[in-house]
Amino acid sequence: MKAIIFGAPGAGKGTYSTRMQNQLGVDVIAMGDIFRESVKQNTELGKKVKSYVEKGALVPDEVVLEVLKDRLKKVPKGKGFLLDGFPRTIAQAESLQSIAKIDVILMLDVPDQIIIERLTSRRLCKSCGAVYNIRFLKPKVEGKCDKCGGELYQRSDDNEAVIRNRLQVYKTQTEPLVEYYRKKNTPFIVNVTKSVDQPPEPMVEHMMAELKKMGLA
């Protein structure tokens, strides 16, 4: 299965991808995670990416494609993948088409206000990357990761001003991709979030059931 998971920043793409990875037996390719690791290690790519990420802007296509092609080479032959954070523009989608045929789009429909509430209260573990939320997914010990005991922190771009900018970027540059893939008759599985603390499990079950109907899971 070759799939894309779509949704605004904070819609839960990483959460659902992680939960579905083992069930589907695919590689999850999260461009944001690749970029953040590069920034953390201060690589040449990281230096290029840093200024864009901190402003909530999109990383230029040529940089993203360079990273994606390198990552796809590492996917074992015969194994599928789930793209998280790519494509984000029509130009990227057209470039992707020359690399791989996409079987299905997983679409996360989440209202802006829910995303803002989620992201401003999100915390991550510095050691293992586990995700928490100080409103509805709290760690057992404040400021400490349940899994490894690492220190929790708030990403610099998890503030309302940057989040609103990222949402606007998503609407103007990425939402047209929905129309692009619909015109290509690519199947969609749409999930609608109605509350800030809606658990992911029922939505994962729904997506898995729909993928099985399509013969992709």
Q: Which two tokens stand for residue 209?
A: 């059931």
Indicate the SS3 state at residue 49. helix
d(CA 118, CA 57): 20
d(CA 4, CA 17): 10
The single residue of 19, 36, 88, 123 carrying the catalytic annotation is 88
d(CA 180, CA 83): 17
- CB-based contacts of 179, cutoff 8 Å, min separation 6: none
Active-site annotation holds for 36:
no
Q: Which two tokens stand for residue 205?
A: 């079950």
The single residue of 13, 36, 118, 123 carrying the catalytic annotation is 13
CA dihedral (83, 86, 88, 90) positive or negative = negative
The single residue of 50, 144, 155, 164 carrying the catalytic annotation is 155
The single residue of 19, 48, 118, 122 carrying the catalytic annotation is 122
Q: Is 195 exposed, middle or buried (0-12, 13-18, 19+ CB in 10 A)?
A: exposed
The single residue of 138, 166, 183, 213 carrying the catalytic annotation is 166
Q: 104-109 and 188-192 as β-strands: parallel, antiparallel, unpaired?
A: parallel
Active-site annotation holds for 74:
no
Active-site annotation holds for 164:
no
Residues identified as active-site: 13, 88, 122, 155, 166
